[in-house]
Structure 1
Amino acid sequence: MNPRLLELYNQELHHVRESAAEFAKEFPKIASRLTLSGMDCADPYVERLLEGFAYLTARVQLKLDAEYPTFTHNLLEIAYPHYLAPTPSMTVVQLQADPDEGSLSSGFTLERDTSLRAALGRDTQTCCEYRTAHSVTLWPLQVAQAEYFGNPSAVLGRLAASEPRAKAGLRLTLRTGAELPFNSLALDELPLYLNGNDEQPFRLYEQLLGNVCAVFARAPGGDWVERLPRTPCARAVSTTATRRCRWCPRPSRATACCRNTSPCPTASCSSNSPSWGARSSAAPARSWS
């Protein structure tokens, strides 16, 4: 038997007695025939009748409460069908390539559905296994610096002067390994994973897609600067070919998200939003920005 039945029974009985007291006060002649006077009832038969009524209404209330999850479930299925969908176990895996490995100049692809096994714990016999949700290509690249700033003119100088609307910026400095120049990499696209706590990655992702004023690429020392197309997926340009830099938010589905979290050789992005922006220009050795 449900333990809440007794609680509901006492609530219903108390309510019936309060109602009986109000009835006796409003209609004293009829209440006297029912031997109702205030909260007490002198007639044991009437008292048992009230208790039986409280028991039945408590069962009805318990049944209504049990149907409430079914009602809300059906309502959510109509209003927000994906909310109740089962969410599989997932994780984000950081893959690190050796930046000094020269054979990576053409990239190394880890195919989708590649099995990844976790190390066994001290008292465990079964390891946790995931499969990658999509293919990941590793490159001999690393992020030397990532900097957000709120005063583009003080950091970027004449680059910021060309975009007076810019109120914030993001600068990424990238380096290659094994003394490789960027134009030696057979690189068509490089996902950038935005990592952070709570809603920070989503806010940054929104700004990069919706509020970018300009994108620039700059060589070490600033002797080469190029303005890049302002598109939702910022395009970074090298000296020999056009490179596409895809900004990727925190993964939202899949059993495992396996991304190379060494972010991309982006360029210079500027944003007209003061809270989060993007303007990036880089000046590393053997690097893009």
Structure 2
Amino acid sequence: MQPFRTGLFMTTDQESLLEYYNRELSYLRRMGAAFAEQYPKIAGRLELEADQCPDPHIERLIESFAFLTARIQHTLESEFPQLSSTLLGVLYPQFLNPVPSMTIARFDADPTRTGITSGHLIPKNTPLFALSEQGNTCRFRTCYPVMLWPVTVTYAGFESTDQFDFLDNAPNTALVLRIRIETPGAIGDLTGMHRLRFYISGDRILTNALYELIFCHVQRAAVLPKKGGRPAFLSDEAVLPVGFDEGEDVLPYPPNAHRGYRLLHEYFTFPKKFLFFDLDLNQADFLNAQGFSPDDQQFDILFMLDQMPGERLVIDRNTFCLGCSPVINLFKKVTDPIRVTRRLPEYPLNPDSRREKITEIHSILSVSASADARDGSTEVAPFFSFNHKMERKGQQAFWHANRMGHDRKDIPGTRMHISFVDLDSAAGRHCHTRQTHCPDTSPSERSRFMASDITLVTELSFIGQKQGKSQFIA
């Protein structure tokens, strides 16, 4: 699993204020020493020295003044990023949001069940639940749709071209990558298996080198029957990359953002999402080829390579995984209601007061307000946005959120506060005391889990006789 944390809001207010305080106190002592050296008579009455002041009252006065100036300096400098952060929040909000935990989940059909003749679709955004070592339940959701077939990879390896007679007249083929597929039933009984999606599993050096071989050095791909014979060659575009099209996104992105930014962002935060490839089998063609029998339970997929792989490139059947999808620790949730008064300039957002230590807000999706529980809610627009047409419809209040480092050391990550203003920047002037706001947020778990720290507890019950489970493999 990929643990990430943005570095914009890591320092807490107390830690940064302590740095300002020590800096101001050191400056006052240096200036006090210089003043004592230049005006010894006056400094003698104040008892100023370079390191400390013998008079405890003067010493406390210096420390109090250092704390006051440090607080002012801290407040001034902490307000400088608000303009740039707000501008980024309007144009590129994805760069301000923390990156949730992501990993790869694999779904396996129950091999003890028979009679499966078609694939089962596990749609995108299917929820999964995992348990951490601390006993916390973590919510994930799938990012790719998964078509689960009752087939498994039983062998994968590199083989010499001498084992294949049909390659005698192919001098440009240096090596053959063979992947063996088996099914508990007959291949001819499987209906609609026109495409298989593989995930390349392993360490980064292995997966990157293998990905380059498949997409840069494959001359042709073919399907070979169990008993040998002539292979059924696939089309030149049979091997397709995954993760670049619309709908294959992992991180949420605004519609106005360039697609290239999303690809770069996802590559540098979770490159494993691109280690997939689709193989267009065209089942009807290879079953009708010479040597194939509908009763076979096994066939081989061959990739003819024009380049020899490195000696350290060792693969096995676990290198190519079926039924996989990236999953992300991100979900929707309504925060605890906020009763707006004019006593506070801003209000803390708590997605779950019982799970504050392990839940962090990723982004605010919408904010609704209600003056009475029996009345319907009204959506509140953000203060910084591209248009304020809601004002013409009677919109009087807008919301603005601020993200900062958490002030408690035992809680990692960031916290968010929300404030309500009008177009004249008057805080809370049009927010009634009895009005309650409920922001709809997209939180994630604060802890950054590794794959070994969590245990999947979700079991998928498929329709009819199909049943299976999933597990984390990254």
- Report the TM-score when normalising by structure 1: 0.55
The unaligned stretches of length 5 or more in structure 1 are 244-263, 280-289
Alignment partner, residue 59 of structure 1: 71
Q: How does 1:1-289 map to 2 (within 5 A)?
A: 4=15, 5=17, 8-21=20-33, 23=34, 30-32=38-40, 34-35=42-43, 39=50, 50-63=62-75, 77=89, 81=94, 84=97, 87=100, 92-98=105-111, 101=114, 103-105=115-117, 107-110=118-121, 112=123, 136-147=146-157, 149=158, 152-153=160-161, 159=167, 162=170, 164=172, 166=174, 170-178=177-185, 180-182=186-188, 185-196=191-202, 201=207, 204-205=210-211, 207-231=213-237, 232-233=239-240, 234-236=279-281, 240-241=284-285, 266-270=301-305, 272=307, 274=309
Query: In 2, are the aligned partners of 1:163 and 1:213 still within 8 Å (CA)?
Result: no
State the identity %: 22
Supply the distance in 2 between the matched residues of 1:42 and 1:116 (Cα, whole angstroms).
Answer: 64
Aligned-pair CA distance for 1:68: 8.2
Partner of 1:224: helix, strand, or coil? coil
Aligned-pair CA distance for 1:72: 8.4
Supply the distance in 2 between the matched residues of 1:32 and 1:177 (Cα, whole angstroms).
Answer: 96
> Structure 1 residues 97, 13: CA separation in 2 closer, same or farther (over 3 Å shift)?
closer
Q: One-letter code of the match for 1:112? A: P
Partner of 1:267: helix, strand, or coil? strand
| Aligned-pair Cα RMSD in Å | 5.3
Query: In 2, are the aligned partners of 1:114 and 1:131 still within 8 Å (CA)?
Result: yes
Supply the distance in 1 between the matched residues of 2:300 and 2:96 (Cα, whole angstroms).
Answer: 36
- Report the TM-score when normalising by structure 2: 0.37
Superposed CA offset, 1:231-279 (max 9, x none):
34243355x4269xxxxxxxxxxxxxxxxxxxx9643252648459899
Alignment partner, residue 398 of structure 2: none
The alignment covers a number of residue pairs equal to 243
Query: In 2, are the aligned partners of 1:235 and 1:266 still within 8 Å (CA)?
Result: no
Partner of 2:94: helix, strand, or coil? coil
> Structure 1 residues 43, 190: CA separation in 2 closer, same or farther (over 3 Å shift)?
closer
Between 1 and 2, higher relative CO (CA 8 Å, sep ≥ 6) is seen in 2
Supply the distance in 1 between the matched residues of 2:154 and 2:235 (Cα, whole angstroms).
Answer: 24
The unaligned stretches of length 5 or more in structure 2 are 1-12, 241-278, 288-298, 316-474
Alignment partner, residue 250 of structure 1: none
- The structure whose residues are more often strand, as a share, is 2
Aligned-pair CA distance for 1:56: 2.5
User: Which deviates the most, 222-231 or 151-160?
Assistant: 151-160
- The structure whose residues are more often helix, as a share, is 1
Alignment partner, residue 381 of structure 2: none
Bigger-Rg structure (1/2): 1
Superposed CA offset, 1:200-236 (max 9, x none):
5566445433443332332235421344333342433
Supply the distance in 2 between the matched residues of 1:189 and 1:164 (Cα, whole angstroms).
Answer: 27
> Structure 1 residues 51, 209: CA separation in 2 closer, same or farther (over 3 Å shift)?
same
Query: In 2, are the aligned partners of 1:207 and 1:278 still within 8 Å (CA)?
Result: no
Supply the distance in 2 between the matched residues of 1:272 and 1:61 (Cα, whole angstroms).
Answer: 62
Alignment partner, residue 254 of structure 1: none
Supply the distance in 1 between the matched residues of 2:23 and 2:224 (Cα, whole angstroms).
Answer: 74
